Amino acid sequence: MSKPTLPEPTPAFPAGLSNAFLFATFNALSYQMVLGSPMVLYAKSLEASATVLGLIAGMMPLLVIFQIPAANHVARIGYKRFVYAGWGMRVMFIFCMALIPLAGFFLNHATQLVLLLFLLFGFNLSRGISSAAWLPWITTLVPLAVRGKYLARDATCGHVASCAAFLLAGACVGQSSHPWQFALIFAFSAVMGSVSLIFLKRIPDVTPPEKEITAKIAVPWRAIAAHPPFRKLLRLNVAWSFAYGGIATFTVAYLRVEAGLAEGTIMLVTALAFIGGLAGLGYFESRTDRLGSKPVLTFCLALWILILVGWLAFSGRLIQPSLLLVILLQLTMGFAYALVNMNNTRLAMVIAPEMGRSHFFALFSVVGNLTLGITPILWGLVIDASGHLRTSVVGWELNRYSLFFLGTLAAFMITLAFCRKLDEPRALDIDELLRDILRTPQRLWLRLWPRGQP
């Protein structure tokens, strides 16, 4: 009689990968201050228009386009050296940003805003170039069987740090902000960025699989984009980026301008979104590698549609945006965003072949991020152009913000339709995911239910 076969053990994380989680933690403490709501609120204090806010939000993803030329040099220079150089440049720009709020006694708001945009451009340019090596580096370093688990833990570290960053920023600003408080926030960002570089340098380096390929060989970008599973993923990313592109910026602007929340309260509420993200990442950490990314993406995009219905009710004045309801929406947004982001990246790791991986990831990042960068600028123009629009439709008011949320709702519906057409090897159906979710409360109930004595 043959012995029963034992299940294969799950591969362990490579030695030294803990430094990647520490890097993610301190990196999030840094970049959330200069790319998140603190920067939006500071720009708003300088009387920035919705179009300028859209430009600030869109600059980072737009400059990811430089991954395309940078991908030709990643294999020659090496993953770690390439990323480390770019991240070091980023920190230098943040130190300069911390000085701008202190220059208000001799510079007017317009000049400060121009200087801020210039430094943000340099920050995002160095980030856009150096990020060409990050995904290929991690994909080569982390075994396939635990990539979902790695991404969940990496995102968890980032969410915990991001939540802490916004709580600190909210406590620093309070109910009324002053320039020195924003200077302190940006200085904290620069210090945390410097600490993150220590751990980045300790992450194990790996040899790029395409080391032998020289930059002189023409890259078949059209063939890469035409690869059927990859083409479908690119199409999904364009739709997702258009749907999500202005959400983070213009929900903050709506809460400040229309709902009348104080700046410190907005930062504290924004921090709670990361609590929702942590809940999603904790629940799906062990499930994503087993169920696949496609069903999780489908579930979360359907959830995003419900979220946008809530924002439409607020902005259209059907429901008063109370603090409790805003917190509930922020928690749900954090849950859905974290899982879409993680599973989108994981699916790209599954689909991209080993050879030419840097170019696949460069195209993947650039296509989605270009849309992600253009979208908030376009919505900023629409919001500014329709500033005085107020039309009642069966008790629901069509105004500049309800128009924005209506457009994003339509975009999320299109994204969900594209998601259903994705190709993923060994992914289970959405029905299996829903059954797994429904079984969880039953398992918890059985564990807690007192068992009778025999």
What's the confidence (pLDDT) of residue 447?
Answer: 46
- Is the model more confident about 34 or about 436? 34
Q: Using 50, 70 and 90 to split pLDDT, how confident is the model at 449?
A: very low
Degrees to nearest 5, angle at CA 372 with 429 and 131 = 90
Q: Which residue is associated with the tokens 């859905």?
A: 336
Q: What is the pLDDT of residues 340-396, one digit of tens each?
A: 988 888 888 887 776 666 678 778 888 888 888 888 888 888 888 887 788 888 788
What's the confidence (pLDDT) of residue 71?
Answer: 77
Average pLDDT score, the chain: 83
What's the confidence (pLDDT) of residue 7?
Answer: 45
List, as own/partner pairs, every contact residues 426-432 make where C-beta atoms lie below 8 angstroms and the sequence separation is at least 24, other chains included. Answer: 426/292, 427/291, 427/292, 427/293, 427/294, 427/295, 428/290, 428/291, 428/292, 428/295, 429/295, 430/294, 430/295, 430/298, 430/299, 432/291, 432/295
The CA R_g of the chain, rounded to the nearest whole Å, is 23
Q: Using 50, 70 and 90 to split pLDDT, how confident is the model at 444?
A: very low
- Is the model more confident about 423 or about 285? 423
What's the confidence (pLDDT) of residue 269?
Answer: 85
β-strands 396-399, 390-393 pairing? antiparallel
What's the confidence (pLDDT) of residue 424?
Answer: 80
Residue 177 has pLDDT above 60, yes or no: yes
Residue 112: strand, helix, or coil: helix
What's the confidence (pLDDT) of residue 361?
Answer: 78
Report residue 83 CA to chain centroid gap: 19
- Average pLDDT of the residues in 313-323: 88
Cα separation values, 169 from 99, 173, 323, 395, Å: 17, 6, 19, 38
What's the confidence (pLDDT) of residue 451?
Answer: 47
Q: Using 50, 70 and 90 to split pLDDT, how confident is the model at 439?
A: low
- Average pLDDT of the residues in 32-60: 85
**Choice among 111-125, 183-197, 358-372, 403-417 with the minimum mean pLDDT:** 358-372
Q: What is the pLDDT of residues 252-293, one digit of tens each?
A: 888 888 877 877 788 888 888 888 888 888 777 667 777 788
Please give the backbone phi and psi of residue 338, each rounded to the nearest 5 degrees, phi first.
Answer: -60, -40
Cα separation values, 53 from 41, 216, 251, Å: 9, 40, 12
Hey, what CATH topology would domain 19-207+221-430 get?
Answer: Growth Hormone; Chain: A; (1.20.1250)
- Is the model more confident about 171 or about 406? 406
Rounded Cα distance between 177 and 263, Å, is 7
Report residue 221 CA to chain centroid gap: 25
pTM for the whole structure: 0.73
Residue 314 has pLDDT above 60, yes or no: yes
Residue 306 has pLDDT above 90, yes or no: yes
Which residues, at least 6 apart from 365, have a Cβ–Cβ distance to it below 8 Å? 64, 67, 131, 132, 135
Residue 16: strand, helix, or coil: coil
Residue 214 has pLDDT above 50, yes or no: no
- Average pLDDT of the residues in 321-343: 89
Cβ proximity of 26 and 158 under 8 Å: no
Closest to 200 measured CA to CA, from 250, 144, 138, 249:
138
What's the confidence (pLDDT) of residue 448?
Answer: 40
The structure tokens listed for 95 are 């130190």
